[in-house]
Amino acid sequence: MEEIKGVEEVQAERGSVGETVTQEDASIVAELAESSADASKPKYELRESRVPSSRIGRLWNYGGLAAGMFAGAIGEGLSRAVGGGSGNGGSVMLSPANMERLVAKLSRMRGAALKMGQMMSFQDAKMFPGPIQEVLQRVQDRADYMPAWQRDRVLKANLGPEWRDLFGEFEEKPIAAASIGQVHRATLKSTGARVAVKIQFPGVADSINSDLDNLSVLLAAANLLPKGLYLNKTIDNARTELAWECDYEREAECAARYRELLAGTPDEAVFAVPQIYPEASGKHVLTMEFMDGVGVTRINSFTQEQRDWIGTQILRLCLREVTEFRFMQTDPNWTNFLYNASQDRLELLDFGASREYPDEFIVKYVVLLEAASRSDRARVKELSEELGYLTGHESKTMLDAHITSVTTLAEPFLQSAPEVYDFRDQTITERVKAQIPVMIHERLAPPPEETYSLHRKLSGAFLLCARLGSRVRCRELFEQALVKAEALSAAK
């Protein structure tokens, strides 16, 4: 009866705008009723579930999440009042049961909310309370996959009703599922080439704005994020990047451009970018060369020499993106970097968030890094104002925190840094974290738009080196990058 009542309520609501409830909407209500009854149980193993693709379906899911979290907070508060509850003494909104609800719902919703959680986990996680940090880490590489009927609908719309004729083999169950889509292993019938077919979840592209608006309201109402975070700017940046990532035709062009940037250089033997097959691709389907490597953080048997080499190559490429290419693949997700042991190469994936940086920004940014590497605090302040990090009216406390964080981030590149920087012993993250509370409360303006993606990738490269325990000649890499940057600027 509860399920029928929920459907009737939706019909009444939609009737006011001249709409009728769909079969999908009805089944979503049923799923919500089931999940709400047992929301505290972990349900995070990769599984098949329908993607809520209609406007009312996605709105209903967000409403269900909000209601579930507020109800959970009330229940946690009552339990604590009588001596029960989680016993962690923290916010009732951040109870373990509510964090379970949040991860489960993001995994089922996919799309903008899950992607934003992944983006923030690499950029801003250190600003958040412990439970939120845990949620962000858990959603990095997690999503349900859609049922075959939804998948086939996307394939037909992009490749035609006879899409199966393009493939000799097509594995029905995906090998991976992320925030925007899922990936299937297949072979092309025309050539026999082994390929990976990335299929976008339905409704994700059209729901970016509404999803982010709903997420913003939920986060603000639940008071989950610290004040001064400029959530609106983070969300605006996410709108732009998500629109890029949902356009697989753009991603194909970015991958081709990246292959061209590496072509004819020694890095062509170090890095592999998958070939794209346009005949089996569309705006929401992308078929590319299958790469055999394994995620660089998933191999525990790496020798120290391999760890050093991988960290060196990834950081060197990141510096090339900034100083030479001025074009960057900005998603530092560990699963985007594969190591192919048989070829001793690194394989690069996911170019959806690739972007170009304007000369007027990137040239000054490189000079800022160079000034930080000399510990020139006065020059760091001057350039930070020119770039828009500072307004010129900050308090001394804010100035000190900002400049200290910049010079700390540049520590591996300092002229006084060790010849070989050991990321196993680095404390950069913790020392920058110590400055964050001051910057959150005293920052007068949000950072430049380019910063969100750029710092996410730079910090991601550092974190990857730390996770691998790499020892890298950072100072030497930085000096080489500066020479190339100066040569490029002189040529222009």
Residue among 445, 451, 375 at smallest CA distance from 407: 375
Query: Hey, which residues does 185 pair with through a beta bridge?
Result: 196
Choice among 331, 344, 350, 376 that is catalytic: 331
Distance between CA atoms of residues 387 and 363, nearest Å? 10
Chain center to CA of 330 = 9
Is 151 exposed, middle or buried (CB count within 10 Å of its CB: 0-12, 13-18, 19+)?
buried
Residue among 171, 42, 123, 111 at smallest CA distance from 436: 123
3-state secondary structure of 161: coil
Residue 271 main-chain phi, psi, to 5 deg: -115, 140
Tell me how far apart the terminal alpha carbons of the chain are, to the nearest angstrom.
71
Residue type, 156: K
Rg over CA atoms, the chain:
24
For the beta carbon of residue 28, count every other beta carbon within 10 angstroms.
Answer: 26
Is 415 exposed, middle or buried (CB count within 10 Å of its CB: 0-12, 13-18, 19+)?
exposed
| Known catalytic membership, residue 331 | yes
**In which residue are the tokens 């890298």 written?**
472
In angstroms, what CA-CA distances link 12 with 15, 66, 459?
5, 21, 49
With left for phi above 0 and alpha for psi between -120 and 50, is residue 470 left, alpha or beta? beta
Residue among 49, 58, 62, 284 at smallest CA distance from 144: 49
3-state secondary structure of 183: strand
3-state secondary structure of 338: strand
Residue type, 168: G
Residue 338 main-chain phi, psi, to 5 deg: -110, 145
Chain center to CA of 40 = 26
Q: Which residues are catalytic?
A: 331
